[in-house]
Structure formats: C-alpha cells, structure tokens
Amino acid sequence: MKFFVDTADVDAIRELADLGMADGVTTNPSLIMKSGRDILEVTREICGIVDGPVSAEVVATEAPAMIEEGKKLAKIAPNIAIKVPLTWDGLKACKALSGEGHMVNVTLCFSAAQAILAAKAGASFVSPFLGRLDDINLDGLQLIADIRAIYDNYGFKTEILAASIRSVNHVTEAAKIGADVATCPPQVLKAMAAHPLTDKGLATFMADWEKTGQKIL
C-alpha cells in the first residue's frame, strides 16, 4: 500500500518523506486555507519534497473552467495530480485532462457507481471518503471493497485512494481490502507506530538494562 500525506504542512510532509513514509501528498482547499499560504507557492514546495503524485484541487464547478484551472495547476510540477470533484462536470474535466496526459484524482466519491464513472473517464485515482460515510452510519470500508471487486472484474487501471481516513483501523482495514493508496493526516500515520504493549515491553527492557550498570556508548 502507498501512503499519501493529507496535508499542506510542509514540515510534516518533509519529516514523513525523510522516513520513506510519503509516497505522495493530497491537498484540498480546506488544507490550503489551514496552511495560510498561496496555493501555487505551497504546492510547488510540496512537489519538491516528494517524488510521487501531489494532488492539487480545482475550485471551479463547471467543466471548461475546471479544465483551465487544471492546466494551470499541472504547470507547477510534473508530479501534479489534478483533483476534480465527482460531478458530471468533474467527469468531463477528468476526461479532457487525462486525455492530455495529466494525472487526475477524482475526489468526493461516495458510491461504487460513481467510481465506475471515474474509471471510465480515465481517472488516475478515485478517492472514496471512508470517514464521511461512517459519519452518516454507512460503511465506508464496504465501499472500498465494492470498488475493488468492480475494478478487478473489468481490469480498470484507476487506483483506489482511500480518503477521509480517521483512524489506524481505517488504514489497516483498507489495506486488507486492497486499496492501492491511503491518504492520511500526519497524526494518523504516526499513530500506526504506537501500541501499549510496545511501550510496556520497552519500559521493562530499560528497567532491566539499568540494573546491569552497563553502557553501550
């Protein structure tokens, strides 16, 4: 499974990239707002930190304007994935942009039917939102499973990018189901390293080592 970092915080991205934990980055208007920086400036900096896809989202809602915004964003760096919403106009923009050789991430996917359309339109990635489905008492992980089955049935090349990740469990379950990518906030990726038995075992080892009176350095 590939890990994308869901943030526009360049310090957090750099830390994870240095550890080999950032295969790409996803941003959106809300994350750009939190960064407090110009979208073109911060996106360019992120593209210089990671080699993999960096999703930059259009803000237009009609296809012609989405396409023009997408082309402008694509000029930032070769690893830009243009992010468009899963609307009819978004699908039109996806078809046009992917037809010109651009990576496209179709976002805000909430049904398997939508995911089929994204693949047919040439999306590089489709982003089903697990957490937001869970919020309304629907099964976000089941959506991942449904999309995986459909894509495998027909050999669609679009990668499933599990988004709206809220927990470590979301990541591990999405990996078991076969999501190609999980895009996570930095704190979720870091939480994957935590386990109370690891902490307990380390505390025991350190206490025993202290009793030996030895030093390695």
- CA angle, corner 91, sides to 88 and 94, nearest 5? 155
Cα separation, 22 vs 4, in Å, equals 5
Which residue in 149, 141, 162 sits closest to 2, CA to CA?
162
139: left (phi over 0), alpha (psi -120 to 50) or beta: beta
- Catalytic: 83? yes
Cα separation, 126 vs 83, in Å, equals 10
Q: Long-range contact list for 73-76, CB < 8 A, 24+ apart? A: 73/43, 74/102, 76/40, 76/43, 76/44, 76/47
Q: List beta partners, residue 109.
A: 128
Q: Which of 2, 34, 71, 83 is catalytic?
A: 83
| Catalytic center residues | 83
